[in-house]
């Protein structure tokens, strides 16, 4: 019985260590993700947004002119 308890405690400790390693990895990934999100947001300058808006308007105009219903 004592050996069985020792084995259970050993397995619990082993799994706990694995879990801590994975949690550490996830924490690093979360920090990296937050950093990448900030870098991504820096790309959205007012000029960039104007270009996106202009492209969207051009595409909308092309779609409207290509798909007019016959009167």
- 13-46 pLDDT, tens digit each: 999 999 999 999 999 999 999 999 999 988 889 8
Q: What does the alpha-carbon distance between residue 46 and residue 58 come to, in Å, rounded to a whole number? A: 18
Give the range among 8-17, 47-56, 61-70 with minimum mean pLDDT.
61-70
Higher pLDDT, 60 or 7: 7
pTM of the model: 0.55
pLDDT of residue 49: 87
For CA atoms 20, 23, 24, 25, give the dihedral sign: positive
Q: What does the alpha-carbon distance between residue 34 and residue 36 come to, in Å, rounded to a whole number? A: 5
**pLDDT band, very low/low/confident/very high, at 70 (cuts 50, 70, 90):** low
Q: What does the alpha-carbon distance between residue 30 and residue 57 come to, in Å, rounded to a whole number? A: 36
């Amino acid at each position: 019985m004592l050996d069985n308890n020792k084995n259970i405690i050993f397995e619990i400790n082993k799994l706990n260590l694995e879990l801590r390693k994975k949690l550490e990895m996830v924490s690093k990934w979360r920090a990296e993700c937050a950093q990448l999100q900030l870098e991504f947001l820096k790309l959205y300058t007012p000029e960039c947004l104007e270009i996106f808006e202009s492209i969207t308007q051009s595409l909308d105009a092309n779609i409207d002119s290509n798909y007019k219903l016959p009167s």
